[in-house]
A and B are shown apart, each in its own frame.
Chain A
Amino acid sequence: MQIKADRKLVDRLIQGDTRAFDAFFHSYFPRLYRFALGRVGGDGDTAEEAVQSALCKALDKLGTYRAEAPLFTWLCTFCRHEIYALTKRSGREQVALREDDPEIRSALESLFVAADYDPELSVSRSEVRRWVQTTLDHLPSLYSNLLEWKYLQGLSVKEIAARIDRGPKATESLLTRSRQAFRDGFSAFMQGGADGKASWVRVGTDL
Chain B
Amino acid sequence: MNQDTDRRRDDDLVAELMQLAGPRAQPPTDRTERVKANVKAHWQRHVIVERRPLQNKFLWLTGLAAVLVITIGVLRPWSGSDVDVALAPVVSVAGAVFIHRDSGAVMARGGDRLRPGDRVETGDDGLMIFTVASGHELRLDHGTHLTLLDYDRIALDRGAVYVDSHRFDSGESVSVVTPFGIARDIGTRFEVRLAGQTLEVAVRDGEVQLSDPNDATKGRWTASAGEGIRRLAMTQQTETFAVSSWDERWGWTRTLVQFELEGALAIEYLQWLSHEQGWTLSFEDERARSLAQSVAHGDTTGYSALETLEMVLPTVELGYRLDGGRLMVSSVH
- Residues of A that sit less than 8 Å from B by CB: 13-14, 16, 19, 21-23, 25-26, 29-30, 33-34, 44, 48, 51-52, 55-56, 59-60, 62, 125, 128-130, 132-133, 136-137, 144-145, 147-149, 151-153, 163-165, 176, 179-180, 182-183, 186, 200, 203-204
Contact = CB atoms under 8 A, between A and B. Distances in A.
Contacts of B38: 52, 56
Contacts of A25: 36, 39-40
Nearest to B291: A163
A-side binding surface: helix, strand, loop or mixed? Answer: helix
A56 B16 CA distance: 38
B20 A137 contact: no
A180 B268 CA distance: 29
Contact of B25 (A29, A34, A60): A34
Contact of B27 (A19, A30, A144): A30
B18 interface: yes
B294 A163 contact: yes
Contacts of B40: 21, 25
B24 A186 contact: no
Nearest to B266: A163
Interface in B25-43: 25-28, 31-32, 34-36, 38-40, 42-43
A152 B35 contact: no
27 contacts: A16-B51, A21-B40, A21-B43, A22-B265, A25-B39, A26-B268, A34-B25, A44-B31, A52-B38, A59-B39, A59-B47, A128-B21, A129-B20, A144-B24, A147-B14, A148-B23, A148-B24, A149-B290, A152-B22, A163-B291, A163-B316, A164-B294, A165-B295, A179-B14, A183-B10, A186-B17, A203-B17
A205 B93 CA distance: 64
B62 to A, nearest CB: 19
Contacts of B36: 25, 29
A20 to B, nearest CB: 10
Contacts of B10: 179-180, 183
Interface residues of B, number: 47
Nearest to B47: A59
Given A56-B46, A129-B21, 15 more contacts: A13-B43, A13-B47, A22-B264, A26-B265, A29-B32, A30-B27, A33-B27, A34-B27, A51-B35, A56-B39, A59-B46, A60-B46, A128-B21, A147-B14, A149-B290
B267 interface: yes
B13 interface: yes
A22 B46 contact: no
B295 A59 contact: no
A16 B51 CA distance: 9
B258 interface: no
B293 A29 contact: no
B281 to A, nearest CB: 13
A30 B27 CA distance: 6
A25 B38 CA distance: 11
B102 interface: no
Given A13-B47, A26-B265, A147 B18 contact: yes
Contacts of B20: 125, 128-129, 132, 203-204
A30 B26 contact: yes
B260 interface: yes
A113 to B, nearest CB: 13
Q: Which of A14, A152, A164 has the most CB of B within 10 A?
A: A152
A193 to B, nearest CB: 20
B249 interface: no
Given A26-B268, A44-B28, A183-B10, A133 B35 contact: no
Contacts of A164: 294-295
A200 B13 contact: yes
Contacts of A22: 264-265, 268
